[in-house]
Amino acid sequence: MSSRVLWWIKTIIFLIVVLLLYRLIQSKIEHFDEIEQRFKILFLPKNIFLLGIIFLLTPINWAFEAWKWRKLASKVEKISFVEAYKGVLIGLAFSTATPMMIGDYAGKILMLKTDKRLQSIGAILLGNSLQMYVSLLFGTISYLFFVIWANPKPLFLHIFIIILLMTCLIFGFFLSLNLPNLKEFLSRNKFFEYLRKYLGVLENYTLLELKKLFIIAISRYVIFSIQFILMLKVFQVNVPIYVLLVGVGIIFLTKTLISILNALGDLSIRELTSIYYFGFFGANFIAVSSATFMIWLVNILLPIIIGSVFILQLKFTPTRN
């Protein structure tokens, strides 16, 4: 494929992402009216300091994801931290146009230079699963506290959801303990044998490596939680800190479980969950909605914009054997 054709492909992808971003911002423009009502709040001395911390934590948040991806990718190709960071942001940008995190896979895979790129699918799946498990773990604990405090109706439905979440946690833990035995499992029939070229890399991760990756995933979750709580404080969502912690856990759990939607629907999921949860504790809906929008803008939209620029640097053909 000629360099001119590749340039046009990358440019078209870039323009599509930019168009989707424009439509996204346009569809959410009403949120600016809500924030305008509290605009002066953002410029109070203590809030300027809090906003500064939130913005500074954003690159750290994604740095943990890049660190995790670099460690995961090492089983396929050694990449630098900068390459890993670019791959993460490109994947985030691609996710604006794809469901079920397909864009995340594409962005990370295309940043690799080896001709064995497709072997990294298993590594990406593992990384996403670990982050999902962390959200599931803290989200289940948070959801349990919510049911105890708020006693939402119908109660039997919420109890069923908790049991289902706990079952998923146990299954995920069991699955992680048996990753080294994946080779034997994939060799049982032709269908699984076909998947082995994509998922076979999973058997190369030791339990010690999984523990380290799990700690990185938890660290990223903690950074995000701090950002969200600080933003809620900026917009004067005046509820106890333990209510905020539980709320963040439930919001992130909901967003994770409904991952069949792409990044364009991410804000709506966070916002609806925030309003539903904090409504039980008398929080101001406009304050909650504004805080949710701002944390999405800082933590998701800005990295997507940066990632869309990196799309122009992609190499569609591998350069390493």
- Whether 166 shows a pLDDT value over 60: the answer reads yes
Confirm whether 220 is domain-assigned: yes
Confirm whether 171 is domain-assigned: yes
| Residues 217 and 134 sit within 8 Å (Cβ to Cβ) | yes
More confident residue, 160 or 150: 160
- Chain mean pLDDT for the chain: 80
**CB burial string 259-290: b at 16+ within 10 A, e below:** beebbbebbbbbbebbeebbeebebbeebbbb
For the segment 179-195, the average pLDDT, to the nearest whole number, is 67
- Whether 264 shows a pLDDT value over 50: the answer reads no
For the segment 178-184, the average pLDDT, to the nearest whole number, is 70
Domain count, the chain: 1
Confirm whether 320 is domain-assigned: no
CA distance between the termini of the chain: 18
For the segment 191-197, the average pLDDT, to the nearest whole number, is 70
Q: Which band of pLDDT confidence, cut at 50, 70 and 90, is reported for residue 131?
A: very high
Confirm whether 27 is domain-assigned: no
Confirm whether 192 is domain-assigned: yes
Displacement of CA 223 from its chain's centroid (Å): 12
Which pLDDT score, from 0 to 100, does residue 164 have?
93
pLDDT in tens, 230-262: 999 888 888 888 888 998 899 888 877 776 544
Confirm whether 114 is domain-assigned: yes
Confirm whether 29 is domain-assigned: no
For the segment 156-167, the average pLDDT, to the nearest whole number, is 91
Give, in degrees to the nearest 5, the angle at Cα 107 between 103 and 108: 120
For the segment 80-104, the average pLDDT, to the nearest whole number, is 82
| Residues 199 and 186 sit within 8 Å (Cβ to Cβ) | yes
100: part of which helix (H) or strand (E)? none
> What's the domain range around 79?
3-19+35-313
**Helix, strand or coil for residue 31?**
helix
Which pLDDT score, from 0 to 100, does residue 253 have?
87
- Whether 196 shows a pLDDT value over 90: the answer reads no
CA separation, residue 93 to residues 40, 130, 160 (Å): 32, 21, 36
Confirm whether 26 is domain-assigned: no
Phi and psi at residue 114, to the nearest 5°: -75, 155
Outline where 178-206 has alpha helix (H).
Answer: 182-186, 190-199
- Residue 262 CB contacts under 8 Å (≥ 6 apart), including other chains: 95, 96, 97, 98, 99, 103
More confident residue, 197 or 68: 68
- Whether 27 shows a pLDDT value over 60: the answer reads no
Distance CA 217, CA 129 (A): 10
Minimum mean pLDDT range among 15-24, 183-192, 243-252:
15-24
Outline where 116-206 has alpha helix (H).
Answer: 120-150, 155-177, 182-186, 190-199
Q: Which band of pLDDT confidence, cut at 50, 70 and 90, is reported for residue 307?
A: confident
Q: Which band of pLDDT confidence, cut at 50, 70 and 90, is reported for residue 229?
A: very high
Minimum mean pLDDT range among 44-48, 99-103, 119-123, 293-297:
99-103
Which pLDDT score, from 0 to 100, does residue 169 have?
94
Which pLDDT score, from 0 to 100, does residue 262 have?
47
- Whether 141 shows a pLDDT value over 90: the answer reads yes
Please list the residues that pair with 320 across neighbouring strands: 114
- Whether 274 shows a pLDDT value over 80: the answer reads no
Displacement of CA 150 from its chain's centroid (Å): 28
Distance CA 107, CA 221 (A): 22
